[in-house]
Amino acid sequence: MTAFPNSFNIGLPALQSQFQFPAVRLWEKEDEIRQKYRELSALLLVTAEETSEETLREVKGLLDGVEEPEQKRDNLYGLAAMLGMHYLEESLVRAVFGARFEEIKKMGVIDQWLDEKYQEGLSQGVSQGISQGISQGVNEGARQVVLELLSDRFGQVPASVSERVHQSDAAWCRRLIRTIARARTLEDLNLS
CB atoms within 10 A of CB 114: 16
Whole-number Å distance between alpha carbons of 21 and 160 = 27
The pLDDT tens digits of the residues spanning 60-116 come to 899 888 887 877 877 888 888 888 887 888 888 888 888 777 776 666 555 555 565
Closest CA to 57 of 113, 110, 98, 1: 98
pLDDT mean across residues, the chain? 77
The pLDDT tens digits of the residues spanning 142-165 come to 788 888 888 888 888 888 888 888
With residue 152 as reference, give the H or E element that holds it. Answer: helix 126-154
The answer to whether 104 and 77 are in contact (CB under 8 A) is: yes
pLDDT > 90: percent of the chain: 1
Sequential DSSP letters for 73-136: HHHHHHHHHHHHHHHS-HHHHHHHHTHHHHHHHTTSHHHHHHHHHHHHHHHH-HHHHHHHHHHH
Query: What amino acid is encoded at 147 in this protein?
Result: L
Residues with Cβ within 8 Å of 15's Cβ and at least 6 positions away in sequence, in order, are none
- Predicted TM-score (pTM) of this structure: 0.47
Whole-number Å distance between alpha carbons of 23 and 172 = 15
